[in-house]
Structure 1
């Protein structure tokens, strides 16, 4: 049976408020290597080599501590191609790694925070 029209086809963007959007964009450029465009954001290709074929959306209970130590109501997960290289880049910029997990069945994970306090989950998917 053919799928009916009128459904979500994917994530089209992540938009956040910031007291200093330019400084935050600069941080994402310098620390995570995002190519910030003149319009102030980055366009991340979904078909980049090694990028996972799906984007997750999950609602957590209000009582979760998964986003801790951030007080924000959301967290961003960025897929990365080389966890060791991104961790070297992050720590060279003086950003502390909150936690690492190299044994998860889904791949390797590490967590950091941006200057606005948003927790960022870095994920290198497990190769099949």
Structure 2
């Protein structure tokens, strides 16, 4: 079974999300948008655009709960519901809640050190 197929996003907890976003924009040239992040478009080895993005975002971290970590990684997966079933069977701490929207399917699992990991099955064609 295919599990993780890539990284869909990196989310950073900040005491002052606006100031930290401004720092990344000024010093690292990240195009931080008004919502607090950006979407890096994917390209092939020749630099040609391909379907897919990786989101990068700074926020207050409330979304990471119950984790207290300063970050959360979103991993792209091929079949969210099958993976969650497999993780439960392996004894992992899978969160009960899942979400489905026009942005895809989302689920969460806690790693052994208490970090919340987001699993994302993108919509078809992304």
**Unaligned ranges ≥5, structure 2:** 1-6, 11-42, 45-49
* Partner in structure 1 of residue 52 of structure 2: 53
Cα distance in 2 for residues equivalent to 1:74 and 1:80:
19
**Displacement over 3 Å in runs of 4+:** none
Cα distance in 1 for residues equivalent to 2:92 and 2:55:
26
* Partner in structure 2 of residue 108 of structure 1: 105
Q: What is the DSSP-based 3-state SS (H/G/I as helix, E as strand, rest coil) of the residue aligned with 2:75?
A: strand
The alignment status of 1:124 with 2:118, answered yes or no, reads: no
Summarize the alignment of residues 69-80 of structure 1 with structure 2, pairs less than 5 Å apart. 69-80=66-77
Q: How far 1:114 moved relative to its partner?
A: 0.2
Q: Deviations over 1:67-103 (max 9, x none)?
A: 00001011111000011221111010112321211x2
Task: Decide which structure has greater strand share.
Answer: 2
Higher RCO (CA < 8 A, seq sep 6+)? 2
Cα distance in 1 for residues equivalent to 2:85 and 2:117:
16
Q: How far 1:54 moved relative to its partner?
A: 1.1
* Partner in structure 2 of residue 92 of structure 1: 89
RMSD: 2.5
Q: TM-score, normalised by structure 2?
A: 0.55
* Partner in structure 1 of residue 24 of structure 2: none
CA contact (8 A) 2:93 2:111 kept: no
